[in-house]
Amino acid sequence: QHRKVLDKGKPDDVMPSVKGVQERLPTVPLSGMYNKSGGKVRLTFKLEQDQLWIGTKERTEKLPMGSIKNVVSEPIEGHEDYHMMAFQLGPTEASYYWVYWVPTQYVDAIKDTVLGKWQYF
């Protein structure tokens, strides 16, 4: 299911990745990523409203953090410094919203921010 998007290659405006480092979320939106249809997507973390905004050219979806059930990620093969990441927006795997080319240094910060730091799984 991911091949189609990954075959497009890295977006030209992808954010630089820093391997082996964990960084806090930047104060600016994370941009230069693709969604599963290969469209440009931007993630904005509105912490004061406890929301994640997923923005595309067409629209911006404003999701309460509490409505996101899970966040999964895996490194992109051959580009291990970037991940593909999914936000689970409903009860099943069909409700995963995939985002591609997430810089690896932000993966943990995104999970902590969305799921809250103190979840014991």
Which residues of the chain register pLDDT less than 70? 117-121
Phi-psi label, residue 37: left if phi above 0, alpha if psi -120 to 50, beta otherwise: alpha
Hey, where are the domains in the chain?
1-18+27-115
Provide the CATH number for the domain formed by 1-18+27-115 in this structure.
Answer: 2.30.29.30
Neighbours of 22 (CB within 10 A): 12
